[in-house]
């Protein structure tokens, strides 16, 4: 049996096409939920009065998503501009949703700086944006939060 070595959650990297070398504070909610069909009611009754049930995959309830917090860095508006590119013109964006989707990856590293886990994200776009509160008494750094929708998220390693 191979040696099981836990992976720290503080050693990671995030990149999307053309968006690299960013100061990422956190990656949360790498989620997608499948939905089922056929389980709502019995399929049939068979000899001996046995009831057959069937449950099958019916795709996703909604597209997979991930939430990324990036530190606000003076002069760096790459994630924000990506969001604007995909927003409809009627909402103040550029209306280039289909041509502005990006592929990306999330990589987790082991304690020896070796790649341990990689998730591949396909055809992503930014669904929501939030900037941290500003407070004269705060000691925190400013962050922008982006909820990113993907057509597909696969763990490849």
pLDDT at position 24, please?
96
Task: Find, among 82, 59, 80, the residue nearest to 152 by Cα.
Answer: 59
How confident is the model at residue 101, as a pLDDT?
97
Domain assignments of the chain as residue spans, ordered by start: 12-155
Rounded distance, CA 88 to CA 130, Å? 18
pLDDT band at 125 (very low <50, low <70, confident <90, very high): very high
The pTM (predicted TM-score) of the whole model is 0.81
Tell me what pLDDT residue 118 has.
96
Q: Are 157 and 85 in contact (CB under 8 A)?
A: no
pLDDT of 59: 67
26-70 tens-digit pLDDT: 999 888 777 777 777 887 888 888 887 777 776 666 788 999 999
Give the tens place of pLDDT for each residue, 82-120. Answer: 999 999 999 999 999 999 999 999 999 999 999 999 999
Give dist(CA 26, CA 131) in Å, integer.
Answer: 14
Q: What is the pLDDT of residue 61?
A: 64
CATH fold, domain 12-155, is: Pnp Oxidase; Chain A (2.30.110)
* pLDDT tens digits for range 128-153: 999 999 999 999 999 999 999 999 99
């Amino acid at each position: 049996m191979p040696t099981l070595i836990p992976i720290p959650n503080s050693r990671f990297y995030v990149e999307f096409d053309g968006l690299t070398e960013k100061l990422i504070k956190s990656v949360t909610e790498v989620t997608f939920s499948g939905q089922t069909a056929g389980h709502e009611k019995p399929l049939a009754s068979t000899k001996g009065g046995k009831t057959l049930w069937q449950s099958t995959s019916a795709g996703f309830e909604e597209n997979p998503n991930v939430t990324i917090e990036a530190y606000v860095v003076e002069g760096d508006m790459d994630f924000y501009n990506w969001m604007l590119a995909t927003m409809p013109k009627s909402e103040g964006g550029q209306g280039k949703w289909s041509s502005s989707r990006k592929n990306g990856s999330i990589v987790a590293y082991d304690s020896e700086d070796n790649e341990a886990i990689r998730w591949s994200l396909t055809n992503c776009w930014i669904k929501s944006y939030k900037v941290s509160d500003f407070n004269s008494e705060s000691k925190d750094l400013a962050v922008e939060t982006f909820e990113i929708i993907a057509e597909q998220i696969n763990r490849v390693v």
